[in-house]
Chains A and B, each alone.
Chain A
Amino acid sequence: MSTAATAPPTTSAPPTWALRTEGLGRIYGDPGPASLVGTGPDFGTEISPATGAVVAAWDVGFEVAPGEALGIIGESGSGKSTVMRCIAGDEQATAGTIALRGVGDGTVNIRDLSPTARRKLRLQQISAVYQDPAAGLNLDVTAGGNIADPLTAIGWRNYGSIRQRAAELLQRVEVPVGRMDDAVRTFSGGMRQRVQIAKALANDPPVLLLDEPTTGLDASVAAGVLDLLRHLLEETGIAAVVVSHDFGVIDLLTRRVLVMQHGRVVESGLTDQLLEDPQHPYSQQLVAAARG
């Protein structure tokens, strides 16, 4: 894989994408080339027969433009959430480039940054919404307190302004502002997810990562959260990556999609093309299963 993205650019024009990955990989265990042999879709496993290492994701490359949503679909263990966590900085990728237009006009491989610098990116450059609200929120803290967290972390000090911003965000995600001072633990699943989304949007990040954002919610509650996300993605210029095993979610939220299996991307395409004319055997299986 090329490492061109780390080289200084010859022109100063910023890239058209908000997020770009190239050759992204994450191996648990021996990271050497021996671990790759015998893994991937052609071999039906992500576990290296030689070293026992788990090649959770390998050679994943894509670009997401501002205002665009890209889906990553695959079953459990396909590596889709690993890709998301490597971009978010929740775990360190073994190989590859991750670049953000907001960081050095896309010339910096953020994988090379220190853990402290990575954590800072999470405040203003990349936000993540997880399937489990407990992963993104402190359930014992109030909704307002959770949303205030990323604000105070970048220097908001005025109590009134913070409360006003929190109220705005709660309105945007359709949580009654009157619940602002209740602990999130007292909220229903759907409301918790909305608070998590509000927190993720607090500092208007250009990149939003959504990992199974509606999985685990009742169908009617999930529908409400999906509608909210769809509106947010349409109305903001945010670049989104939506990780899901559910073609319904991918279909509703994204215009392009990658299909992952055993840690590798097996197919990429426009979302409707993937659904109507899937090419790879695994994509065809997934679509056939989704159709019932």
Chain B
Amino acid sequence: MTTPHTTSHTTPHTGPAPTPAFTPTAIPAASHQAGRAPADPPTDLPSDTVLSVRGLRKGFTLHTIDGRTVDALHGVDLDVAPGEHVALAGTSGAGKSTLLRCVYRTYLSGGGSIWFRTAAGDLRDVAALPDAEVADLRGQEIGYVSQFLRPQPRRSVHEIVTSAGTARGMTRAAARTAAEAALHQVAIAEHLWDMHATVLSGGQKQRVNIAAGTIAPPRLLLLDEPVSALDPANRAAVLDLIARLKETGTAVLSVFHDLDAIERLATRVVVLGGGRVLAAGPPSDILRDSNLPLEVAR
């Protein structure tokens, strides 16, 4: 990428006064170009920490609605180690999904750092990396499973899960075999495998999504309400699958709708409120603390 697109106006402007297209919203070019200057990595991190979020801020400027601004995160700190499952909790609007999306770079963060330790052991600030490098990390090392599968049109269930495996370095043959195992695990019947994922039910899509997200698990997996549309039996099967990620050393950062799933899976709970960390600790302590604003009572 080149430097920001500013043209130096060396010649005096002689024509009629131009009408600016957008009035006072002069944004510095750097704010909408990816790859701002990275900060120095923290020196106090354990050498195996996979994700270390420091002072993360995020706001939205809605130019189509009077330039209104909405602040979502106000300086969040958070670490996730290999094999650890950190669940985000808090009321709706607390910033849980926003945090996940910033880590995946679907959202551009407005300040702070998102340190990710690569398989090679380097710390990279996902908030500041060039787009192409983020795209490479996403293919191989950082996965994201949202509650909505937005399947590519006209692509079969089997192909979606298989290509997730090849994207993380499996051979095509190995990925096909692993895809079949994963689809069995989430109880997607074989007669659905060659169907286009777009025609599946919401719950089936969600299970295909989690199968694709956990095949050849990435080093860091972001889960955004991955069981929200599932009936109890399928939900249990998917929670089992997620629980087994600890054995592969995958670092998981998740948002779950229900406290049962958090209690079952999380090694640590981080409670967000108003875009800040309100509390953090083991689920046994946090979930029983009646003073914390948790989304759903049991």
Contacts and interface: CB of A to CB of B under 8 A. Distances in A.
B135 interface: yes
A266 B16 CA distance: 24
A59 to B, nearest CB: 5
A204 interface: no
Interface string A276-290: 110111111100100
A43 B13 CA distance: 12
B101 A223 contact: no
Given A59-B2, A63-B1, A281-B25, A37 B11 contact: yes
Interface in A210-258: 223, 227, 230, 234, 252, 255-256
Interface size classification for chain A: 35 or more
A286 to B, nearest CB: 10
Interface in B112-165: 131-132, 134-135, 152-154, 163
Contacts of A42: 20-21, 26
A34 B11 contact: yes
Given A49-B16, A270-B34, A279 B9 contact: no
Interface size classification for chain B: 35 or more
Contacts, number: 128
A49 B11 CA distance: 13
Given A41-B21, A44-B19, A61 B2 contact: yes
B131 A44 contact: no
B268 interface: no
Contacts of A255: 135
A58 B60 CA distance: 28
By CB atoms of chain B within 10 A, which of A23, A252, A279 has the most? A279
Interface of A: 1, 22-23, 33-34, 36-38, 40-45, 48-50, 58-59, 61-63, 65, 68, 223, 227, 230, 234, 252, 255-256, 262, 264-270, 272-273, 276-277, 279-285, 288
9 contacts: A36-B11, A38-B13, A61-B1, A68-B135, A252-B152, A268-B1, A279-B108, A280-B27, A284-B64
